[in-house]
Amino acid sequence: MLRLTRRQWNNVTIIGCVFFIGLFSLMQRFDDSMADAVPVFDDSNALQSVSLGLRQWHLSPQGQWQCVPESTDCQKQGALWAELALLPLVAHPIPDETSQTLVIQTQSGASLQWQWFAQAGVLRSHSDNWYQLPMRYRNLLADSQ
């Protein structure tokens, strides 16, 4: 067995702790867990259209998604928007970037305006509540810019 001095054992312990803290931080950062996510839309309040910058998604009366500008995966993106779920944040982040306006309209006619902070991956609602987007939605929004 290796003979290590007390100082060497301390170094091994410190390096092990730093490694596991880093590992857990990475796991948490890239975790796409939807366990705590709250669905934004339901059957009584379904999504009708979404507008982000120059991109728009609109649900036609036939139930097909239409995109402006045209997109090859418009149906997939529209379906992803329709099942949007958000993770509520307790702490209010202070992103140091400019936001984009995200306008969501439901079938009931309600129009909600949100602020999207792309680098932080967070949305601020019109009532000043903050939400974290799971990774798959962040990718959709990043592709929309």
Residue-by-residue pLDDT tens, the chain, 145 positions: 678 999 999 999 999 999 999 998 888 777 656 667 788 888 788 899 999 888 899 999 998 999 988 877 888 888 888 888 888 888 888 888 888 898 999 988 889 899 988 888 888 988 888 998 877 777 766 655 5
Same domain, 13 and 51: no
- Where does residue 57 rank: exposed (0-12), middle (13-18), buried (19+ CB within 10 A)? buried
Same domain, 42 and 6: no
50 contacts 102 by C-beta, under 8 angstroms = yes
The pLDDT value given to residue 70: 82
The pLDDT value given to residue 31: 67
- Count of helix runs (H) and strand runs (E) in the chain: 3, 9
Same domain, 89 and 124: yes
Amino acid letter, residue 47: L
Same domain, 27 and 44: no
Same domain, 72 and 137: yes
Structural domain including 123 reads 38-143
Same domain, 46 and 15: no
The pLDDT value given to residue 1: 60
Same domain, 45 and 27: no
Same domain, 125 and 65: yes
DSSP β-ladder status, 47-52 and 55-59: antiparallel
Helix axes 74-82, 135-143, angle to 10 degrees: 130
Same domain, 5 and 21: yes
Same domain, 19 and 80: no
Domains of the chain: total: 2
Amino acid letter, residue 69: P
